[in-house]
Amino acid sequence: MTKSVTLRRPDDWHLHLRDGAMLQAVASFSGHFGRAIIMPNLVPPVVTGAQAAAYRDRIRAALAPEMTLRPLMTLYLTETTDPADVLAAHAQGIISAVKLYPAGATTNSASGVRDFDKVRGVLEAMAQAGIPLCFHGEVTDPAVDIFDREAAFIDRVLDPIRRATPGLRVVMEHITTSDGVDYVAGNDDIGATITTHHLVINRNHILAGGIRPHYYCLPVAKRETHRLALRRAATSGDARFFLGTDSAPHPDRAKESACGCAGCFTAPNTMSILAQVFEEEGALDRLEGFTSLHGAAFYRMEPNEDRIRLVRREIPAAYPTHIPAGDETVTVFDPGFPLYWHLEDPA
C-alpha cells in the first residue's frame, strides 16, 4: 500500500543562497519552499536595508516564475550597525530578522561582533520593535574546545544578553547539543532551528575511518547523544523547534582542500530525509509542525495555504550527487541511506 503525507508548504528558516553563479545554480533547489530566511554573510556582508533589498531582487531574478520561494531577508549585525536603519528596513518589509555572528565563528564571519556591548543599542531597539535576532550560537575563544562552544555560548553570551534585553525575541540557530535543546525548552521568547543534517550525522560520520569533508559543518556535529536529543526535540511537537536547513553550498575544490569550508548542501533532498527521520521516530503526524507551522508562528506569519505531498514508494527517490555551479561543482549531502519518500509538488 502506498503511504503518503500531505503538508502545508514548508518553510526554511535558515538558508544560504550565496550570490553570482552559485546563486543561479542553487536557488531552484529551494524553490519548493514557501519562504526562507536568507543568510546575509556574503562578501561583503549585507549590512544595510538597501543592500538587503538589492540581494532580494537578485534572488527573485534567479528563481523560475513557477517557484514558490519568498526570500525573507536579514541584516548582518556589526558593531557599527545603525539602529535606525534596522528599524526602517523592518518597517518597510525589507528584512524579517537580524543575524548575529560572533566574529570568526563560521564562513564569512570576520565582520561579526567581538564586543557585545557595542551592539546593545541595536538589540534594545529590536526588542522594542519585536524584530527577531538570529544567533550563530558558538563562542570563538580558542581555549574552548570546538565541541563545547555551543554550551559555552549559552552561558557566556546568550543568557546574559537575554537577561539584559527583556523582550528580545531570539532564534538560536542550528542547535547541535542537548544543552541547546534544554535551554530553548526551558525559556520563552526563544526559538531554535534544527538542520536536516544534524538529525542524521554525528561526529563519527566526519572522522571515523577517514575525514569526510562533505559532512563537515559549523557548528560541527557532536556526539551521538546530542544527535538523539535533536531528534527528540524536532519530533516532539514543541513549537519552539522548527526547520532551518542551514543548507550551505561550497565549491567542491573548497571543501576538498587542506583547509576545507564548513557547510552541507541539503536543499535538494531535505524533505525526503526529514520524512524518513520522522517516520523512524514514529512522528510523521508532527512533520508538518516542524516544517510548516512552528517557524511561521515564531515569526508571526500565517502558515502557507498551499500544500505539498510526500509519497513513500518502493523505489528510492533519485537526487543528483553533484550539481554544476559555473565552472565549479557542488556535492549534494548524502544521508547514507536510501530515500523512499518522494516529494510531489503540487499535491
Q: Summarize the annotated binding site for Zn(2+) as residue ranges.
A: 14, 16, 99, 136, 174, 246
What CA–CA distance (Å, rounded) separates 214 from 208? Answer: 14
What CA–CA distance (Å, rounded) separates 76 from 249? Answer: 19
Q: How many CB atoms lie within 10 A of CB 126?
A: 25
**At which residue does the C-alpha cell 538560536 appear?**
172
What is the grid cell recorded at 95? Answer: 528584512
246 catalytically annotated: yes
What CA–CA distance (Å, rounded) separates 93 from 333? Answer: 33
What CA–CA distance (Å, rounded) separates 300 from 13? Answer: 13
Total number of residues shown for the chain: 347
What is the grid cell recorded at 325? Answer: 555551479
What is the grid cell recorded at 86? Answer: 534596522
Q: Which residues are annotated as a binding site?
A: 14, 16-18, 41, 99, 136, 174, 218, 246, 250, 262
What CA–CA distance (Å, rounded) separates 86 from 79? Answer: 13
Q: Which residues are annotated as a binding site for substrate?
A: 16-18, 41, 136, 218, 250, 262
- Whether the CB-CB separation of 252 and 328 falls below 8 Å is answered with yes
What CA–CA distance (Å, rounded) separates 137 from 228? Answer: 19
Sorted by sequence, the CB contacts under 8 Å of residue 257 that are 6+ apart come out as none
Q: How many CB atoms lie within 10 A of CB 12?
A: 28
What CA–CA distance (Å, rounded) separates 130 from 133? Answer: 9
Q: How far is CA 89 from CA 84, 113, 213, 293, 334, in A?
A: 9, 20, 38, 25, 38
Q: Cα 63–64–67 angle (5° rounding)?
A: 85
Q: How far is CA 284 from CA 20, 244, 277, in A?
A: 37, 18, 9
The residue from 12, 179, 238, 246 that is catalytic is 246
Residues labelled as active-site residues: 246
